[in-house]
Amino acid sequence: MFSSYLLHTWIAATLLAIAAGSLGYFVVLRRSAFAAHALPLAAFPGGALATLLGFAPLWGLAGFALLGVAFLRFFTRLGRRDVAIGLLLSSFLALGGLFLSLGREYAARVYGLLFGEVLGISAASLLPLGLLSLTVVLLLLWRFPDLLLQSSQSELAMARAISPVRMEWFFLILLALVSAAAVPVVGTLLVFTLLVSPAAAAQRLSAHPYRAWLLAILLAELLSWSSIALSYWSNWPLSFFVGTQGALLFLLSRILTRT
């Protein structure tokens, strides 16, 4: 389980869990789970295009995730947010399908982008992954009080001249960066689990904002580590353990806090 070929996997999962757990707290607090599902899928065509053109997938993922933020904000101004997210999902998935169809390894690429390639993480990919994760955490710590206030007490935040529009841009950009970092590891479809499940469980277990935030990071780490270990021992897909354990984690938190 701690063999040299898995070392990059452990490092990548640890970095990703810190970033996803940190931001996941605000995903749940702001009730933005639908956006947390949409932006990783918006990154999907970026990874496909990067593979088609022969450059590092991470930069394509990040570029299209940020493009998805702009798309989401533009169409939200024209109508309802849920409609904007639906348009984002349908159009970017169609674009990703086009890019994948132009390549030669269609099936392998689809599987890798949707479910991750946790055993295919190279040493070269750890540096940009670490930089993205560090950037997300530092930016989040920089604006943590303002984002917390705007997410939980929007009227008080407006009274203190904290712009809800700027905070929404800030939050979505961080979510795009986490999505880009997570897709190569756990895949497009499971970023949602890593962002939402640990944070939702943490908020059930603690009402104190900072304790719940730290607990969300810890639970994200435990979810990532245990999924890797179980995948290694059983030879079953990592995606299966991330998804099922994420659901069980939230269920356990409900049981423990039942009144």
Taking residue 31's Cβ as centre, other Cβ atoms within 10 Å add up to 9
Q: What does pLDDT average to in each consecutive run of 10 residues of the chain (259 residues)? A: 69 89 94 87 84 80 91 84 85 84 64 62 78 91 94 89 92 92 73 90 93 95 90 83 91 86
| Predicted pLDDT of residue 232 | 82
Tokens in use for 5? 């070929």
With a CB cutoff of 8 Å and minimum separation 6, the contacts of 84 are 71, 72, 74, 75, 76, 78
Q: What is the pLDDT of residue 3?
A: 60
The residue type of 27 is: V
CA distance 124 to 121: 8
Query: What is the pLDDT, as a whole number, of residue 37?
Result: 84
Q: Which CATH superfamily is domain 4-256 in?
A: ABC transporter involved in vitamin B12 uptake, BtuC (1.10.3470.10)
Q: Are 128 and 78 in contact (CB under 8 A)?
A: no
Which pLDDT belongs to residue 253?
93
Which pLDDT belongs to residue 4? 57
**pLDDT for position 120:** 61
CB atoms within 10 A of CB 180: 29
pLDDT value at position 149? 94
Q: What is the pLDDT of residue 55?
A: 78
CB burial string 120-149: b at 16+ within 10 A, e below: ebeeebeebbbebbeebbebbeebbebbbb
Q: What is the pLDDT, as a whole number, of residue 205?
A: 94
Task: Spell out the domain ranges in the chain.
Answer: 4-256
Closest Cα to residue 64, out of 32, 41, 31?
41
Separation in Å, CA 180 to CA 87, 140, 162, 191, 199: 20, 17, 27, 9, 19
What stretches of the chain show up as alpha helix (H) in DSSP? 7-29, 33-53, 57-78, 81-101, 106-115, 123-142, 144-152, 154-159, 164-186, 191-205, 209-234, 238-256
